[in-house]
Amino acid sequence: MDALSKHCIVLGLRARDMITGFEGVATGRLENYHGPPEIRIQPEFCGDDGKPAEAVWFDEGRVELVPGEARVGFRWTP
């Protein structure tokens, strides 16, 4: 992984929080006025009720791209 990809999270690609290991698809980026940018990670699994699991926001510095197949979203069946 080159230096640029460590600091440039592309929405639609798989990403992981380096501290907790939470992994999924990067689906949003938020720039805060008084804090670091954040990346929204949507897990690729459903809860017990069949609904998509809730996405979580992480500081951009904690998020890394996951090597492998690029994803644009996730698929689930109700």
CATH number of the domain within which 50 lies: 2.30.30.390
Q: HEC string of 9-74?
A: CCCCCEEEECCCCCEEEEEEEECCCCCCCEEEEECCCECCCCCECCCEEEEHHHEEECCCCCCCCC
Q: What would the pLDDT profile of 40-70 be if each residue is shown by its tens digit?
A: 999 988 778 878 889 999 999 999 998 876 6
Give domain status of residue 43, yes or no. Answer: yes
> What's the confidence (pLDDT) of residue 4?
40
pTM exceeds 0.95 for this model: no
pLDDT band at 5 (very low <50, low <70, confident <90, very high): very low
Q: What are the tokens at 31?
A: 């720039």
Count of domains observed in the chain: 1
> What's the confidence (pLDDT) of residue 76?
47
User: Length of the chain in residues, anyone?
Assistant: 78
Q: What are the tokens at 1?
A: 């992984």
Give domain status of residue 75, yes or no. Answer: no
Q: What would the pLDDT profile of 15-27 be if each residue is shown by its tens digit?
A: 999 999 999 989 9
Range of the structural domain that residue 20 is part of: 3-65
Give domain status of residue 74, yes or no. Answer: no
